[in-house]
Every structure is written in C-alpha cells, then in structure tokens.
Structure 1
Amino acid sequence: MTRVGKYHVALIGVAVLILLMALVRIISGQDDLTSSGLIASALTLAVPIGLAGLGGLWAERAGVVNIGLEGMMVLGTWFAGWAGYQWGPVAALVAGLLGGALGGLLHAIATVTFGVDHIISGVAINLLGPGITRFLSEVLYKEGTPAADAGAGITTSAAVTGSTWEVSLPVLSDGPDLLGKLESTHWFLLADVAGILRGLTHNVNILVILAVLLLPLTFFVLWRTAFGLRLRSAGENPWAAESLGVNVYLIKYIAVVISGAFAGLGGVFLVFGADKYVEGQTQGRGFIGLAAMIFGNWRPGGLAAGASLFGYTEALRLRTSTAVISLFLFGALLLLIYLGMQIRRLTSAELEARGVKQYTLMAASALGMVILFWLWLTVDQLPGEFVFITPHVVTLLVLLVASQRLRMPKADGVVYRRGEQH
C-alpha cells in the first residue's frame, strides 16, 4: 500500500470512528460522549501521556529501551515547580525540560557508556526520580525557608502563577460560538462533529498546541532528514551504521537526552495543570506513555492514537461513570465491523493461508461482541472500582489486539560496543 493510500485509510478510519460515536450517543442517550467538554478534557489528559510516549519513541528508535520515562517525568515536575514559583512559567518550562533531560543523561551514561542492561537502568531511574525529588523537597521546602513562607511543603511546591496560557484557534472558535450552537442541537453526526471541533479549538493551552506540533516535527526529523536516518539506523543495526561513519555513541546520547526532555515536558504540563508541583502527580503516566508508543508501533501517528484513546477513556471516567457503559456498545459495534471485514475475505488466499488461527480469532471476536452487547443491555451501573480501572483495561485490550502487527527496532535494547558485532 502506498503512503497516500495509508493516509486515506487513516482518514476513513477516523470518519468511521466519529460515525460510530455519533450512533452510540444517539442509541444510549449519553450526549457527553462527543461533547466539547469531554473532548477538551481528553486532549488535556492525553498530552502528558503523548509527550512521555514521544520521549520513548526517540530513545527506542535509537536502540535504547527507556522504561525510565516515569522517573524522568517526575524530575520534570519537581524542577518545573521549583523554578516556576520563583521566576514564572517560562522558567518552569525550561527547568522541567532540563530536569527530564538530566534523567535521560543518566540513563544514557548507564546504558550507552557502561553497557548496563536497559531495563535495569530504567528501573533505577524510576526509583531515583521520586527519591531525589523528595530529598530536594525536604532540603529546600522545610519550615523557615523562603519556599515554605511562599506556601511550599515537603510534598508540594508553592503556586506557579501565570501558567494558564490558553488561546482559541482562529475561524472555528473566534467570534460567534457557532460550534457551540450546533453542538447544543444534539443532531445526529452534525452535533458530534461540532462538539469534537469545539473541544479541540476552544480555550486550548499553548502547551497542548506545542505537544501536537511535536508529533509531525518528530516524523519529519526522524523520517525525512539525514540525522533521522542515522538515528534510526542506530536502532536497527548500529554496526552497519558504524561502518558508514556514523558516530553511534553520540547519536544514542542525543536521542536519550531528547527522550528525557520530552518526558520532562510532560511533567511541566502536569505542573501547569495543577498550578504547582505535587508529589506523585505523574500517577504512572510515563508507563502509560510507553504503552501508547508500543501500541503506535514506534511511530508518531500511532502514538497519538494510543494517547488519545487513554485520554478519552480517562476523561469519560472522570466526567460521568454512567457513560462508561456505552463503551460496551461501542466495542460491540467495532467487533461487528471487524467480523464483517473478515467474512468478506473468507475466500481470499490470505485468509486460507492463515488457517485455524484466523478462524479462532474470528470466533473469539464474535464471542466478545455478544458478551459486550449483553453487558450493555443488562448492566445499569458499574462498580466504582471497575470504572476507575476502565482506561487501563481498555489500554491493555487494545495493546493485545495491536500486538499482532508490532515491529520494534531490531537492535532495540541491544548493548552496543564499537567493533564488536553480535
């Protein structure tokens, strides 16, 4: 399939998803499914996950597994809170980037220079991040210090003022609120599209726009420049890259430091959302970002889809627990479409070649569709515990499905030593 063809398929897929969401909204009566408020919340929740995943993508494309994203994000949150209350949001942004980059540098020194196992080093970063920040808080935020007088405590920084940088995108959200009026009509599809567009364009934080722009920028740098080709070659076959004169050590260092900086930027976004640093505010988003990157098959577009999925389900959980039940119907309809596509290929050579495995997958999909539809018909109220873990369950299920087509960089996680090809 050509690249243009892939873009067409992606656009058709987005259109089908919006149509399904509109249909589910009409059938279930849950108007919040495509409301501008939900979409805006989903975008806000998806950004730190997407930034962490973007950091993982840079590191792993260069062949360095980075499960230390959570620790790097923690460093970003603390340094953003520390600098932000003293010198303002711009200083918080810079300090958060540098804090995350520091974590990336530590990971690069351990894995690239000393050849430490990437997983062990990542775990160490995840342990060091909270430990270092707690130590710094106890030293700098204790009673009697200027920070404590400004409102800081052992587990929180003082408030970061002026961190709300919101804009409304021109044309769609300036002037009369036409999208809001269309959304309030609740007309099929038209109101849904208006709600989605309004949520994506009305009162958007500048950091959100920056994070979204980083996705195509990453694609351009990694897939359209000589530097990107060298970086990806270091993740596929570093010894072949070495034979062509590429400084693999330097490339890996740059990639992992950038990886940490992106994770730190995700931490800055969390600090701006809360107007201060709070201990534990990352809540595992670094790990979820890593999962989103894997779901996206180590590519920016797929990463954006994975982060958006988690952000949407998390926003749905936070805004209304009853609407979560509508996900059962949505999942059943998706499985129905999948089965329809497979049935159309029953006589194709590809389906015959896959044999029993494909038929088993189809049978499991049919069973899952029936179960989801039955749950939607019979369940009126989900237990609070299940509602709380819904985003994580959805993420795991999608990862299980997507794992059939994943292809990681060939030298990802391999310890590289110049001249010692394995």
Structure 2
Amino acid sequence: MYFLIAVAAVLVLSAVRVLAGATDLTSSGTVQAALTAAVPLAMAALAGMWAERGGVVNIGLEGMMVLGTFGAGYAGYQWGPWAAVAFGLLLGVVGGLLHAVATVSFGVDHIISGVAINLLAPGAALFLSKLYFADAPGGGQKQSPRIADAPKVTVPGLSDVLGTVEGKHWFFVSDVAGVLRGLVTEVSLLTVLAALLIVWSGWVLWRTPFGLRLRSCGEAPTAAESLGVNVYRYKYLAVIASGGFAGLGGAFLAVSSGQFRDGQTGGRGFIGLAAMIFGNWRPGGLATGATLFGYTDALALRGSAAVHALLLLLGIALVVVAVVQYRSGHHVLSAVAAALGVLFGYWYFASDEVPAELVGAAPYVVTLLVLGLASQRLRPPRMAGEPYRKGQGK
C-alpha cells in the first residue's frame, strides 16, 4: 500500500516536472535539501509525541529547540559537531525538566508553562549569546562562531549510476533515480541518527513494557496508578525525553547551517506540533509530515520557478484530499479542499511566476494547508493536557 502511494506520488511529480519544466522537483539536490530541512522538524514532532503520549502537552518545543541551537553553538565551535549535538540535547533536557516540574509537580496549566518557556528561552539564548559569542573569533552578539559540519556518507558506485540516469531526464525513471540518489549521496550522519531515533521511539513506545506504561499515563493515569505504575515518574521521563528530542532538533539545525543564530528556529517547534497531529501521534505519520515541510522548504530555496510548479502540485494534492475526505463522509471539508485545489490550479495556469515576497512563506502555507485538510480520524492520547494528582482516582 505505502509502496503504491510512493510510486503514485513520484508519477505525479514526474508529470508536473515535464509540464512545468521544473527539473528541481525531483532532483537529488532537492531531496538532499529536503532531508536537511526535515530532520529538525521531525525531532520537534517526535518530542511532542513523547510528551503527549505521557499525558503532558508540550507547546514549549520552540523554546526548547532554541536552547538546543544555543547549546550547539556554544559547544560546537569549541569541540566539534558531536559535542554540539550532545550539549544541545543537554540544554533541551533542562527545558523539558523545567516544563515537567511546572506541570507534573506543581500542576501548572500545560499551555501556560509551554508559553512561558517559549518566551524565556529566546531571551536567555540571546543574553548568553552576547555573553559568550560577542568577543569570540567569528562570532557576534547574535551568532556563534562557525561549527564544523557532521560527517556525510555516500554509497559508492550506486550514486554515480543513479546520477547518470537522473541526467537523462527520462519520464519517471530519471525522477526515481533522482530521489534515490538524494537518499544515498552525501547523507549527513545526523540524518541517519534522526531516522534511527524515529524507529527506536516506535519500538520503545509500542513494543516494550516501558512504553506501555508510559502510554497508559496519557490514556488513563488513574487506572495505571491502580496497577502500580508510578505515574509521576513516567510523566517526568516523557517530558524530559521530549525536551531532549527538541534540543536535538535545535542542535541539528545549528550544525547543518554551520552556526547558532538568533531566531534560527523560525517557528519549527510549532510546525513540528502540526506534523505530530497530522501523523496521529505516531512516528511514521509525523515523519511524513516533517518530510512534506522539508520538501516544500527545499523547493522554496530553489527559487520562484520551483515554487510556481509547487502551485500545481498543491492543487493536485488538495483535489486528492477532497476525494479522500468525500469518501470518508467529510463533505464540507471535501468542498473546501476542492475549492482551494481549483484555486491553486488556476493560479498556476494564469501566472508565470510567484511573487518573491511569497516564496519564503510557501513551506509554511503548503504544510499547514495539507496537514490541516488531510488530517482525519485523529485520536490524541485521551488525558493529554489534563491535570493529574496522585491518588485522585480513589
């Protein structure tokens, strides 16, 4: 099933590439850039999933990612990219621990605590940046010195063969080659680590007793307590892990861009929450949502021509969403998706390019439209965000 969906998606991309003459749609360079953009977002979505599976809503992901970017900048320029990753994770854990203390121990509203972290973290990062980076060689008040990039790997031989096929620009075949070449050429070890963490999270949460207990705290904490589960402990572990993943996302962002910069996260923590919801609080789904954002972000970096072709892609995607929603009985949502799909299709055929002012906003608009209209049958953890006090079920 998933294989057929992937083949159909590449067929559509290939058709649009031929029609629009936009070779960047399926180029290996675009795939590589999409992976780089998707990794921080996937880590933010994974962070949100861990917290909410434990029953705690964490909208402080953006702030924890900011802490991660600063930690990466501080350690990275002195000791290298892996120190950057470790220190970014550590500061993310600090942010997660702060959120856990506020929400689990003191019963502070989860939204208020998350907003507070989102307000405090950027200010703290900017203050520390001025303190540690202003006089550092190559640094400044709002940026760190340069960070060395993480090692990259290429599958020898296969990359060259796929590159030759990609260069032929054959229908579908070259597009498949371009996508595959992007997945086996100059792939950062950080991307590999992120993929392993997504798989590992799925295994831990759905295949181990620990994961069952943690998820029970988000579904029915009083029942879990009656069976001897220390609900507070598992909520703490869930939120601390959430902070660690968010910090990793910030660290990956700083390392891949080569330095810490003020305002670097650009709302990715909130987009990560959208990807988590789109993925129905499951690792595979949130990875799909993160990849969607990464792909549109990569096309935006390619310029106006690629974004113009994206209008047609978005129109087709929304029409498909309209059909799916109609078959599911969501007629109003189907009509909205269909109308927007027709509108974007008309915009593509009635224009030659997208205004430069809208190119940078394309990833956010496309992601939110598709995630918002495609989501259905969502089932969040039943007690996520609800206050819990020990012994309340007695």
The TM-score normalised by the length of structure 1 is 0.88
Comparing 84-93 with 101-110, which one deviates more in the overlay?
84-93
Task: Give the structure 1 partner of residue 360 of structure 2.
Answer: 388
Task: Give percent identity, aligned residues only.
Answer: 56
Check if 1:374 corresponds to 2:350.
no
Task: Give the structure 2 partner of residue 69 of structure 1.
Answer: 61
2:41/2:269 contact within 8 Å kept: yes
Distance 1:340 1:118 in 2: 37
Distance 1:363 1:64 in 2: 35
Distance 2:184 2:289 in 1: 21
Which residue of 210, 234, 238 maps to 2:217? 234
Which residue of 10, 14, 24 maps to 2:16? 24
Question: Which structure: larger Rg?
Answer: 1
Q: CA deviation at 1:270?
A: 1.6
What secondary structure is seen at the aligned counterpart in 2 of 1:53?
Answer: helix
CA separation of 1:342 and 1:209: change in aligned 2, threshold 3 A: closer
Distance 1:127 1:418 in 2: 30
2:151/2:189 contact within 8 Å kept: yes
Q: Within 5 Å, which residues of 2 pair with 1:167-206?
A: 167-169=153-155, 172-173=158-159, 177-206=160-189
Distance 1:338 1:127 in 2: 36
Task: Give the structure 1 partner of residue 371 of structure 2.
Answer: 399
Task: Give the structure 2 partner of residue 53 of structure 1.
Answer: 45
Q: CA deviation at 1:335?
A: 4.6
Which residue of 137, 146, 153 maps to 2:140? 153
Q: CA deviation at 1:216?
A: 1.2
2:314/2:366 contact within 8 Å kept: no
Q: CA deviation at 1:221?
A: 0.5
Which residue of 120, 123, 130 maps to 1:138? 130
Q: CA deviation at 1:169?
A: 3.2
Task: Give the structure 2 partner of residue 295 of structure 1.
Answer: 278
Deviation by residue 1:55-105 (Cα, 9 ceiling, x = unmatched)? 111001111100111111111111111122222222222111101110000
Q: Within 5 Å, which residues of 2 pair with 1:32-51?
A: 32-51=24-43
Q: CA deviation at 1:337?
A: 4.4
Listed as ranges, the gaps of 5+ residues in structure 2 are: none
Task: Give the structure 1 partner of residue 253 of structure 2.
Answer: 270
What secondary structure is seen at the aligned counterpart in 2 of 1:405?
Answer: coil
Distance 1:229 1:253 in 2: 15
Task: Give the structure 2 partner of residue 212 of structure 1.
Answer: 195
Task: Give the structure 1 partner of residue 392 of structure 2.
Answer: 420
Distance 1:96 1:341 in 2: 41
Distance 2:120 2:321 in 1: 44
2:150/2:190 contact within 8 Å kept: no
Distance 2:224 2:233 in 1: 12
CA separation of 1:113 and 1:192: change in aligned 2, threshold 3 A: same
1:75/1:133 contact within 8 Å kept: yes
Task: Give the structure 2 partner of residue 129 of structure 1.
Answer: 121
Distance 2:95 2:9 in 1: 38
CA separation of 1:139 and 1:401: change in aligned 2, threshold 3 A: same
Check if 1:304 corresponds to 2:287.
yes
Q: CA deviation at 1:321?
A: 1.1
Distance 1:207 1:386 in 2: 30
Distance 1:215 1:294 in 2: 16
CA separation of 1:134 and 1:226: change in aligned 2, threshold 3 A: same
CA separation of 1:370 and 1:73: change in aligned 2, threshold 3 A: closer
TM-align CA RMSD: 2.0
Residue type matched to 1:68 in 2? G
Deviation by residue 1:13-62 (Cα, 9 ceiling, x = unmatched)? 22211111111111111111000011110110011011111111100111
Check if 1:116 corresponds to 2:111.
no
Distance 2:261 2:335 in 1: 47
Distance 2:81 2:21 in 1: 42
CA separation of 1:76 and 1:22: change in aligned 2, threshold 3 A: same
1:295/1:398 contact within 8 Å kept: no
Q: CA deviation at 1:324?
A: 1.5
Residue type matched to 2:342 in 1? V
Residue type matched to 2:67 in 1? L
Distance 1:363 1:132 in 2: 46
Task: Give the structure 2 partner of residue 255 of structure 1.
Answer: 238
CA separation of 1:316 and 1:417: change in aligned 2, threshold 3 A: same
Distance 2:22 2:124 in 1: 45
Distance 1:133 1:189 in 2: 46
Distance 2:324 2:188 in 1: 40
Which residue of 323, 335, 339 maps to 2:306? 323
Task: Give the structure 2 partner of residue 3 of structure 1.
Answer: none
Distance 2:337 2:263 in 1: 38
Distance 1:386 1:77 in 2: 27
CA separation of 1:103 and 1:338: change in aligned 2, threshold 3 A: closer
Which residue of 272, 283, 303 maps to 2:266? 283
Distance 2:68 2:321 in 1: 41
CA separation of 1:94 and 1:200: change in aligned 2, threshold 3 A: same
CA separation of 1:42 and 1:341: change in aligned 2, threshold 3 A: closer
